[in-house]
Structure 1
Amino acid sequence: MSRLQHFGWFLARGFGPHGWGHPYLDWDWRWTTPELYRQSARELERAGFDFLLIEDAPSLGSADTIDLRVRHAFGGPKHDPLLLAPYLFQATQHLGVIPTVNPAGTLPYTAARQFATLQHLSDHRLGLNVVTDTGSARHFGDAPPLGHDAAYDRAEEWLGALRALWRSWQDGALVADPVSGVYADGRRLDAVRHRGEYYAFDGPLNALPFERGEPVIASPGGSGRGLAFAGANSDIQLALAPLTEASVRDYRARIHRAAAERGRAASDVRILFAIQPVLVASAEEADRIVAASGHPDDAALREIARRQSSDLETDLTTLDLEAPLPAGIFGEHVSQGSIRRLVGDRDVASAPLRAHLTALSTLGRISDRSGFVGTADEFADLIEELGEWGNDGVLLWGDLHPVTVHRMLDELVPILRRRGILRREFVPGGLHANLRAF
């Protein structure tokens, strides 16, 4: 039986040059102004999506890869998604907006105050996608970058500090009684003297407490430390895993165990699997696309290498297609998830770069569960099947150009609603309330 699932949109390109490199650039949307994003946010809300999550990378990368990242706008430029959020809140009434934030970039007190302000301005629709990008460290001070696990340790201290500040107004601290003339009771404000491994500051926070919950916390990450962080802290976990029943159930069980170890319930974390489908009009068209994708020429492989170089902050374009990846080519700061997407289950010591890039080029059919090319009905079948395995929802992956949004959703949304998978109405109370509605 079909069950409602949550839907989010992952703005994978971030607040960057939307339309660049695509024919729809000639629609003449300006990516630096808000209306492109406002229009698409309205369409996502109309479609019943819970939230829009905006990727970000504050750095243009290392000196060796900056040109690769900006030449075709794969990795930059990017503007700050936190400053885009108010425009999107103004354009919508129910849609949650989740900009990506980096604990290294903002001290806890400043971050807690800014996020509290946006939570109130948005009527409790703010979320924070907490990432531990260590490659950006040099932009925020002269301290050496942290290792993978230590960056998560810092993020956990940072998030705990934010919560301590948000909760520094005890129950009853806000009086707001015109008759007595008392606005707040200072005796009910906690000083919050924090002296941690990475941060030191005093409270209380100079911002009002929340009426309907703190900002929603989202996190990516597939490492053991990343899953532990999600179990302890996150309301939404962005999942990348093979969409087989065994894999989905195993991934969910790992998150739920991590939550239980920190005294939380499994239902405290909504797990959404990220999918980037290629939706086409017919099964025959899908078959043609899949067949062609398995035979990329060298020019196509070089294009994939350029894109991967941006994500991996490692120049793959100068490497021999017929040789294996050099040992130690990826720095410690490079995302383990990004490396896994490149190498898959192939033997890194023997598989040539051509094999890795060809695997990324090769698409599969939704109908046989080998990939994500297919019709809207076939994709709805997959989402329905995920629901039978206990899935909480799906994160669709793409840019936010209105052409992209309509191509993916125009046929899909009615199908999902007729099957009882996609919500028709929101509940009052903000993002937390809608995530907990089912």
Structure 2
Amino acid sequence: MGRNGQLKLGLFLVQAGFHEGAWRDPSVPVNGGVDIDHFAQLAALAERAAFHFLFLADSPSVLERDHKHIARVSRNDGFEPITLLSALSSRTREIGLVATATTTYNQPYHLARTFASLDHLSNGRAGWNIVTSGLRYEAPNFGDKELPEHDKRYERAREFVDIVKGLWDTWEDDAFIRDKQSGIFVDTTKLHLPNHRGDYFSVRGPLNIARPPQGYPVLVQAGASEAGIKFAAEVGEVVFTAAPSLEGGKRQYATLKEKARTLGRADDQILIMPGIIPIVGKTRLEASEKLQRLHSNIHIDVAIGLAERMLGFVVDLRSINFDSFVPEALPQTNSTQSTQKLLLDMAARLQLTWRQLIHSLSDSKGQLLVVGTPDEIANIMVNTFDERAADGFNILPAMVPNGLKDFIDLVIPELRRRGQFRAEYSGQTLRENLGLKRPLNRVSVAGAGHPPQTTRDPIGFVKN
């Protein structure tokens, strides 16, 4: 029996597409990563289709280990996400704008101000994808030799987010009265200093911008390790997951909802959105041929480098027999532990050789890859929703713009025919469109404040 409600859809915005071979396709702009008009075109396509939000991933480093891999990927020439989404805020009107920013190599005041600014620029459409850095090459860019230990990164993130919320709550919603007659710009009885002193940070405040239109920008998370799931259940309002199997997706969905429930959170206030790579054809053969063309663009150096990174750089794949089976365990990584576990579990479940795993990762990166007709892709999406493995999906077009156009032109009409996806926006802010509540100011005092009275001194200057 189907669930009530409709799917939430986000667009994972990548300059060439999610597939590693996408940038070599003739239809893909070769300089898309630094072309605002390219991103504006993709944003316009998604907004016309009523997607809930655009999502930009990020890492403040080059991801690849060696020059052979760096030479053959397109991702290292692209905009910083908040900068790009700030520009797109003036070229869009309704679609949400979700940017990734790490708590490991930023400061709370900086991000509180930046995301509040994006929320004001967009009239309440901002979201923050909260990550803890999990890529080893980020550390040397910030004066460290190695990443902090995995669970310590989450401890810092928890304190970081709490401070940011406190900074967003610096001013009550109606603090800025901007009264020219009285000369009072802001009612300081509605000002609250965080004065935070913790294990990782000391932050006085106040924030020098009004409270965001949404109260807080929508908080997004993607943790899947034990520490990550706990953190996501505590703070995430949208949670991105990697769920290449339905059963695994159902387990993760149930775990996240239950953990959130024990913290007093309602099920509809934490939305779980796995990634899906839809490769669409009018026939299954046409869709398969599209994937094969993309795969033929991947060099072996890219495939091996990608697999080594996703496994946490704990194995040298050039020294192994590709036709041997992937072992059940590898040395633990201090990088993204949940990704390593996901891939090892997948390899064990499907009894994959190293060659098969490397091939699979080069196409899907551990996400759900669906190759087929619009009806087949819609069936999988609706079934995943009905089986309570998803509240919606983060759409990862294999290449853009054509892969996105295929999904919009072929799959979305099928979802709408089934009553599973909306035809227009239902609210003004990202929170309203996602059905998320606007958070109250945590420290506001009861009752209305009274602005100070003013008088004039004998030489004409205003004084209190």
Deviation, structure 1 residue 388: 2.1
Deviation, structure 1 residue 274: 0.9
Deviation, structure 1 residue 159: 0.9
| Partner residue, 1:421 | 420
| Partner residue, 2:451 | none
* Corresponding position: 1:384 with 2:382: yes
Q: Are the counterparts in 1 of residues 277 and 369 from structure 2 also a CA contact under 8 Å? A: no
What is the number of equivalent residue pairs in this alignment? Answer: 423
Q: 1:244-323 to 2 correspondence within 5 Å?
A: 244=246, 246-285=247-286, 303-312=302-311, 314=313, 316=316, 318-320=318-320, 321-322=322-323
| Partner residue, 1:354 | 355
CA distance in 1, matches of 2:22, 2:182: 57
Deviation, structure 1 residue 174: 2.7
CA distance in 2, matches of 1:218, 1:318: 37
Q: Secondary structure at the match of 1:426?
A: coil
CA distance in 1, matches of 2:255, 2:329: 29
| Partner residue, 2:112 | 112
CA distance in 2, matches of 1:92, 1:234: 25
CA distance in 1, matches of 2:383, 2:34: 39
Q: 1:6-21 to 2 correspondence within 5 Å?
A: 6-11=8-13, 20-21=23-24
| Partner residue, 2:455 | none
Q: 1:143-292 to 2 correspondence within 5 Å?
A: 145-170=147-172, 172-244=174-246, 246-285=247-286
Measured against aligned partners, the alpha-carbon deviations of 1:398-417 in whole angstroms (never above 9, x if no partner) come to 36732231133221122222
CA distance in 2, matches of 1:204, 1:272: 34
CA distance in 1, matches of 2:326, 2:384: 35
CA distance in 1, matches of 2:17, 2:114: 19
Q: Are the counterparts in 2 of residues 10 and 395 from structure 1 also a CA contact under 8 Å? A: yes
CA distance in 2, matches of 1:317, 1:79: 31
* Corresponding position: 1:32 with 2:30: no
Where do 5+ consecutive residues of structure 2 fail to align?
438-464
Q: 1:33-112 to 2 correspondence within 5 Å?
A: 33-61=35-63, 65-73=65-73, 76-112=76-112
Q: Are the counterparts in 1 of residues 127 and 220 from structure 2 also a CA contact under 8 Å? A: yes
CA 1:234–1:265 in structure 2 vs 1: closer, same or farther (change >3 Å)?
same
Measured against aligned partners, the alpha-carbon deviations of 1:211-262 in whole angstroms (never above 9, x if no partner) come to 3331111111211211111111111000222442x54443222111221233
Q: Are the counterparts in 2 of residues 301 and 354 from structure 1 also a CA contact under 8 Å? A: no
CA distance in 2, matches of 1:371, 1:400: 13
Q: Are the counterparts in 2 of residues 15 and 54 from structure 1 also a CA contact under 8 Å? A: no
Instruction: Tell me whether 302-311 or 149-158 shows the greater mean CA deviation.
Output: 302-311
Deviation, structure 1 residue 102: 0.7
Deviation, structure 1 residue 112: 0.9
CA 1:201–1:68 in structure 2 vs 1: closer, same or farther (change >3 Å)?
farther
CA distance in 2, matches of 1:387, 1:357: 29
CA distance in 2, matches of 1:371, 1:110: 37
Deviation, structure 1 residue 210: 2.6
CA 1:66–1:215 in structure 2 vs 1: closer, same or farther (change >3 Å)?
farther
In structure 2, give the amino acid aligned to 1:260: R
CA distance in 2, matches of 1:399, 1:54: 15
CA 1:118–1:8 in structure 2 vs 1: closer, same or farther (change >3 Å)?
same
Instruction: Tell me whether 324-333 or 307-316 shows the greater mean CA deviation.
Output: 324-333
Deviation, structure 1 residue 207: 0.8
Structure 1 or 2, whichever has the larger Rg, is 2
Instruction: Tell me whether 403-412 or 67-76 shows the greater mean CA deviation.
Output: 67-76
Normalising to structure 2: TM-score of the pair?
0.80
Deviation, structure 1 residue 300: 7.2
CA distance in 2, matches of 1:208, 1:127: 17
Where do 5+ consecutive residues of structure 1 fail to align?
364-369
Q: Secondary structure at the match of 1:145?
A: coil
In structure 2, give the amino acid aligned to 1:199: F
CA distance in 1, matches of 2:168, 2:338: 32
* Corresponding position: 1:335 with 2:333: no
Instruction: Tell me whether 34-43 or 206-215 shows the greater mean CA deviation.
Output: 206-215
CA 1:417–1:46 in structure 2 vs 1: closer, same or farther (change >3 Å)?
same
Deviation, structure 1 residue 436: 0.2
CA distance in 1, matches of 2:180, 2:190: 19
In structure 2, give the amino acid aligned to 1:151: R
| Partner residue, 2:458 | none
Deviation, structure 1 residue 170: 3.1
Measured against aligned partners, the alpha-carbon deviations of 1:63-85 in whole angstroms (never above 9, x if no partner) come to xx142442111653443111101
Q: Are the counterparts in 1 of residues 312 and 333 from structure 2 also a CA contact under 8 Å? A: no
In structure 1, give the amino acid aligned to 2:44: R
Q: Are the counterparts in 2 of residues 343 and 356 from structure 1 also a CA contact under 8 Å? A: no
CA 1:144–1:71 in structure 2 vs 1: closer, same or farther (change >3 Å)?
closer
Q: Are the counterparts in 2 of residues 14 and 54 from structure 1 also a CA contact under 8 Å? A: no
Q: Are the counterparts in 2 of residues 113 and 207 from structure 1 also a CA contact under 8 Å? A: yes
CA distance in 1, matches of 2:436, 2:204: 36
Deviation, structure 1 residue 355: 4.5
Deviation, structure 1 residue 104: 2.0
CA distance in 2, matches of 1:35, 1:78: 13
CA distance in 1, matches of 2:257, 2:16: 29
CA 1:223–1:95 in structure 2 vs 1: closer, same or farther (change >3 Å)?
same
CA distance in 2, matches of 1:399, 1:105: 30
CA 1:145–1:310 in structure 2 vs 1: closer, same or farther (change >3 Å)?
closer
CA distance in 1, matches of 2:193, 2:436: 35
In structure 1, give the amino acid aligned to 2:150: H
| Partner residue, 1:366 | none
CA distance in 2, matches of 1:257, 1:4: 21
Q: Secondary structure at the match of 1:24?
A: coil
Q: Secondary structure at the match of 1:118?
A: helix
CA 1:313–1:24 in structure 2 vs 1: closer, same or farther (change >3 Å)?
farther
Measured against aligned partners, the alpha-carbon deviations of 1:362-399 in whole angstroms (never above 9, x if no partner) come to 99xxxxxx962210111111222223234311111136
| Partner residue, 2:411 | 412
Measured against aligned partners, the alpha-carbon deviations of 1:103-149 in whole angstroms (never above 9, x if no partner) come to 12221112111111111011111111111114212322348521211
In structure 2, give the amino acid aligned to 1:9: L
Normalising to structure 1: TM-score of the pair?
0.85
In structure 1, give the amino acid aligned to 2:106: T
